Amino acid sequence: MSNFVLIHGSWHGAWCWYKVVPRLRAAGHHVEAVDLPGHGRDPADPAGVTLGSYVERIGAAIARAPGEVVLVAHSRGGVPASQAAERYSERVERIVYLAAYLLADGETVLDHAPHDRDSLVLPSLRFDPDGHWDMLEAAAFEPALYADCPPEDVALAHSLLVPEPALPTRTPVALTDDRYGSLPRTYVELLQDRAVTLALQRRMHAAVPCDVRAIDASHSAYFSAPDELAALLMTPR
């Protein structure tokens, strides 16, 4: 049995894993999908949300698990996953990055995202005038995030996506070789991704080496390929 902690990406919440969670639990695994502060059922003001508060939320889920955990992070959720792995390394078995931001020590999302020229996210990203959050225009949800997803999941997302707090995006990760660097890492490429493009995925995992797997899906494989994703999570190399 494994203990999975599932970490959503930008604008989403624990709800986005609703197809994956029961598949993992049916196989006997302990699973918790977290709502990061300011997402899902957590109404925190984006202005007060920090990378540290994300890490503490993940840490609470790690503490509830009955043993070492597998952190599974999607998209921008890769940033707090890496920082949580650093802080709680003694409780982490491995980290799985699902088309996620995989940063080296001292980097932020802004070291990578602006250079992802083929991403459909960047042209449709809108920012709070006070700099507290960003949000994707609704017209871009389907082409950027859900191109191969069932229409009912696209409709669900339209009703549940929320603005993304900005501070975690601007905060550098602080990672060490002894803690984070000692943990096994798997990167799952999403081959049709138009949000975090395949080119960017490959640049990141070339710089921070991982075991690499792939799913032929767009950015939200937890909706479009839940069986394949769950099977991959349960069969690490």
Q: Which of 2, 10, 53, 75 is catalytic?
A: 75
Cβ distance 96 to 188 under 8 Å?
yes
List the strands of the sheet with 164-165, edge to edge: 125-127, 133-136, 164-165
Q: Residue 170 has which token pair?
A: 């601007």
Q: Residue 218 has which token pair?
A: 């767009």
Q: What is the DSSP string of 10-66?
A: TT--GGGGTTHHHHHHHTT-EEEEE--TTSTT----GGG--HHHHHHHHHHHHHHSS
Query: Active site includes 219?
Result: yes
CA angle 172/132/135 to nearest 5° reads: 95
Q: Which of 39, 119, 219, 224 is catalytic?
A: 219
Query: Active site includes 89?
Result: no
Q: Residue 137 has which token pair?
A: 């225009």
Cβ distance 9 to 77 under 8 Å?
yes
Q: Which of 193, 205, 220, 224 is catalytic?
A: 193
Q: Residue 95 has which token pair?
A: 């980290």
Q: For residue 73, give the 3-state DSSP assignment.
A: strand
Residues marked as catalytic? 75, 193, 219
